Amino acid sequence: MFNALLETSPEVTETAGAEATPFIDNLLSTVWNWCINTGIKVVIALLVLAVSFRIITVLARKIQKKGDKDKYDKTVMRTIAYLLNIGLKVVVVICLIGYLGIDTSGLTALVASFGVCIGLAVNGALSNVAGGILLLVTRPFKVDDYIEAQGVSGTVEDIHMVNTKVRTNDNKVVYLPNGALSTGNIINYSEKPLRRVDFVFSIGYSADYEKAKAIVTEILTSHPLALEDPSCYVRMGAHSASSIDINARVWTKNADYWTLWADVMEQVKAAFDKEGIEIPFNQLDVHVKND
């Protein structure tokens, strides 16, 4: 029996080889036809996708750079650049899908189903988008404004559709959700060109009040960053438990606020020390009893 099998094996091999040859030819022919027809379309689609995305990105960057100039509204131009970048890329992808001959009816139903699921899952994100639109319409602040909101103080670097990018004084970046930002309290320190700088200086009850008041008034009126109109204000503010408080107010340009504040604080301390005006502070007396 084993010899019989050996004798018939070559015939079986020849038959199998004869049957495999048409299959391989059909496979190669199919692959070749796909490369000629669909394959070329795929290559063209990928090239168009890469070139189109590059052109759209460059266009969006140019629009954003134009927005950085003084004569344009930086906030609006950045928003237009962002929406244009995303919208045109989506249009290109949809057009290329149609070019490849892919049936989009099933894809549309699938996207709609996913859209319902995503809509239920990102309900909070949709409120942030609505908040972003509200911020762009009402304009409580713009890019480069210094604001305080949601417990954060800093300079607005960018306003996106979902969140607002804020850089704090210590160079941290905080992303505030637009939903909470649009419904909460916002303090905009940059909206007005002028700001009032408030001071409280404390002196002892035994100190010469009139001399201290004259020193503070002289420092405020002589400072180059202080404005003459509105004029400065220096008056007694309170009889505290251990001091007389002097309230002082002076106006300056928004950009000079912290420079003026620091200069006045340093100059008043030096002048009080020179004139012997006591600045009260808490003291602790320790008595040691020797039994």
pLDDT at 222 over 70: yes
Q: What percent of the chain has pLDDT over 70?
A: 74
pLDDT at 27 over 60: yes
Q: What is the Cα 243 distance to its own chain's centre?
A: 45
* Cα 86 to Cα 82: distance, rounded to the nearest angstrom: 6
Average pLDDT along the chain = 81
| Confidence grade of residue 2 (pLDDT, cut at 50, 70, 90) | very low
pTM for this structure? 0.57
pLDDT at 53 over 80: yes
The model's pLDDT over 106-157, given as tens digits with 9 standing for 90+, comes to: 656 666 666 666 665 556 667 888 888 888 888 899 888 999 999 999 999 9
* Amino acid 58: pLDDT: 86
* Cα 178 to Cα 198: distance, rounded to the nearest angstrom: 32
* Amino acid 219: pLDDT: 95
From residue 190, give the alpha-carbon distance in Å to each of 64, 149, 159, 185: 22, 14, 16, 15
From residue 254, give the alpha-carbon distance in Å to each of 97, 205, 232: 54, 35, 16
- Whether the Cβ atoms of residue 89 and residue 51 lie closer than 8 Å to each other: no
Highest mean pLDDT range out of 70-79, 91-100, 148-157? 148-157
* Amino acid 5: pLDDT: 42
Vertex 198 angle, CA 281 and 238, to 5°: 50
* Amino acid 112: pLDDT: 67
From residue 160, give the alpha-carbon distance in Å to each of 61, 139, 157, 283: 15, 13, 10, 52
- Whether the Cβ atoms of residue 143 and residue 157 lie closer than 8 Å to each other: yes
| Confidence grade of residue 4 (pLDDT, cut at 50, 70, 90) | very low
| Confidence grade of residue 93 (pLDDT, cut at 50, 70, 90) | confident
The model's pLDDT over 232-290, given as tens digits with 9 standing for 90+, comes to: 999 999 999 889 999 999 999 998 999 999 999 999 999 999 999 998 887 777 778 77
- Whether the Cβ atoms of residue 272 and residue 279 lie closer than 8 Å to each other: yes
In this structure, which amino acid lies at residue 103?
D
